[in-house]
């Protein structure tokens, strides 16, 4: 079997077990919080809550969590390392850059035909995270995360997409995406990657559960990608009934081998304080799939075989990536 990088080093993909493919532990904004500290952030308290959360997931049979917190979302590998110490859940981390429109000014000055010149820094950063480890820790990225949203592929977003494609082609590391489902953003992502030689079976199109357009979702899968139905509990984007009905329908159509389930949740996000999140979206947490979604899928006739395919086999196949 193929090995995948975890916080504790390589692990055979057949040992990953039930996997949440699109999650966050902490989403931070260091510059903002350095000047205006988040009132609800307590370092030791949040670390303890995250460790307790990992145990709670393990108690529910979840073995692996993929943390897609990359640059632009306040990634701190040292902080995640503290959560991972003694965790019964395998934690995988990612490289990439989260921006919906613009990169910081550093990138405007560095790179080919720019003021400071040199090679494309994003490619160097992504490949270093994958091959050498993140921020000198030796902890290596298992996925490459990219973003497009309602603004589409802006010039800076294109730089990130191109760097992701090049890093994938060099290392074989799978790509996972953030999309705006309302704008059918997965299609432009697929076209971009296809034109650059990326095999779409190594691309997970994220946030597809925000859509009830079955034709759109089938088009993405028929082109080769897997779908991230990955915002369970975030019912301001789509109702839970719609999210569950979409999974049921896609399984009925024979697409269970291209589906993944997750929450896109966090233990703390500076973008939406825990007290506000808990009030307006009480089900948006890492336990909801185990406690609510999987039992409801079973009740509606989704087979144990399909659930095993979605939660265990598909993540293992995706995370195995492509031989570089």
247: its two tokens = 């999974």
d(CA 310, CA 321): 17
Supply the range of the domain harboring residue 33: 3-320
Residue written as tokens 């309302």? 182
pLDDT computed for residue 322 by the predictor: 84
d(CA 282, CA 142): 30
d(CA 212, CA 251): 14
With a CB cutoff of 8 Å and minimum separation 6, the contacts of 155 are: none
Task: Return the CATH number at 50.
Answer: 3.20.20.140
Contact 322, 199 (CB under 8 A): yes
Summarised one tens digit per residue, pLDDT across range 242-260 is 999 999 999 999 999 999 9
d(CA 47, CA 43): 6
Please compute, for residue 114, the number of CA atoms within 13 A of its CA located in the half-sphere on the CB side: 14
pLDDT tens across the length of the chain (324 residues): 799 999 999 999 999 999 999 999 999 999 999 999 999 999 999 999 999 999 999 999 999 999 999 999 999 999 999 999 999 999 999 999 999 999 999 999 999 999 999 999 999 999 999 999 999 999 999 999 999 999 999 999 999 999 999 999 999 999 999 999 999 999 999 999 999 999 999 999 999 999 999 999 999 999 999 999 999 999 999 999 999 999 999 999 999 999 999 999 999 999 999 999 999 999 999 999 999 999 999 999 999 999 999 999 999 999 999 864
16: its two tokens = 């990953």
d(CA 108, CA 100): 16
Residue written as tokens 């820790």? 137
What Cα–Cα distance (Å) separates residue 11 from each residue in 7, 142, 169, 324?
10, 11, 22, 18
**Helix or strand (DSSP H, E) at 131:** helix 121-131
Buried b (16+ CB within 10 A) or exposed e, 144-158: bbbbbbeeebbebbe
Contact 204, 191 (CB under 8 A): no
**Three-state secondary-structure class, residue 271:** coil
pLDDT computed for residue 183 by the predictor: 96
Give me the number of domains the chain comprises: 1
What Cα–Cα distance (Å) separates residue 191 from each residue in 89, 121, 259?
35, 24, 20
d(CA 218, CA 177): 17
What's CA 120's distance to the chain center, in Å? 24
Contact 20, 62 (CB under 8 A): yes
Provide the 10 A C-beta neighbour count for residue 132: 11
d(CA 166, CA 88): 34
Summarised one tens digit per residue, pLDDT across range 149-163 is 999 999 999 999 999
pLDDT computed for residue 323 by the predictor: 64
Summarised one tens digit per residue, pLDDT across range 182-228 is 999 999 999 999 999 999 999 999 999 999 999 999 999 999 999 99
d(CA 89, CA 83): 10
Residue written as tokens 């916080």? 7
Contact 288, 296 (CB under 8 A): no
């Amino acid at each position: 079997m193929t090995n995948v990088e975890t916080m504790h080093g390589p692990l055979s993909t057949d040992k990953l077990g039930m996997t949440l493919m699109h999650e966050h532990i902490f989403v931070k904004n260091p510059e903002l919080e350095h000047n205006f500290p988040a009132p609800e952030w307590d370092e030791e308290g949040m670390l303890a809550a995250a460790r307790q959360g990992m145990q709670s997931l393990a108690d529910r049979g979840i073995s692996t969590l993929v943390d897609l917190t990359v640059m632009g979302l306040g990634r701190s590998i040292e902080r995640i390392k503290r959560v991972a110490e003694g965790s019964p859940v395998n934690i995988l981390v990612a490289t990439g850059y989260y921006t919906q429109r613009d990169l910081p000014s550093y990138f405007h000055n560095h790179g080919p035909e720019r003021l400071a010149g040199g090679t494309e820094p994003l490619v160097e950063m992504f490949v270093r995270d994958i091959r050498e480890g993140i921020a000198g820790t030796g902890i290596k990225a298992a996925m490459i995360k990219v973003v497009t949203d309602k603004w589409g592929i802006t010039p800076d977003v294109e730089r990130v997409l191109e760097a992701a494609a090049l890093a994938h082609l060099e290392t074989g590391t799978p790509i996972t995406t953030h999309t705006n489902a309302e704008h059918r953003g997965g299609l432009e992502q697929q076209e971009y990657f296809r034109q650059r030689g990326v095999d779409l079976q190594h691309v997970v199109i994220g946030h597809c559960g925000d859509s009830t357009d079955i034709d759109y979702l089938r088009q993405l899968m028929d082109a080769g990608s897997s779908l991230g139905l990955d915002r369970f509990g975030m019912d301001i984007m789509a109702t839970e009934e719609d999210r569950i009905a979409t999974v049921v329908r896609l399984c009925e159509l024979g697409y269970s081998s291209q589906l993944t389930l997750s929450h896109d949740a966090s233990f703390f996000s500076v973008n939406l304080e825990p007290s506000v999140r808990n009030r307006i979206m009480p089900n948006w947490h890492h336990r909801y799939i185990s406690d609510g979604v999987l039992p409801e899928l079973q009740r509606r006739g989704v087979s144990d075989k399909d659930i095993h395919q979605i939660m265990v086999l598909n993540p293992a196949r995706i995370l195995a990536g492509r031989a570089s």
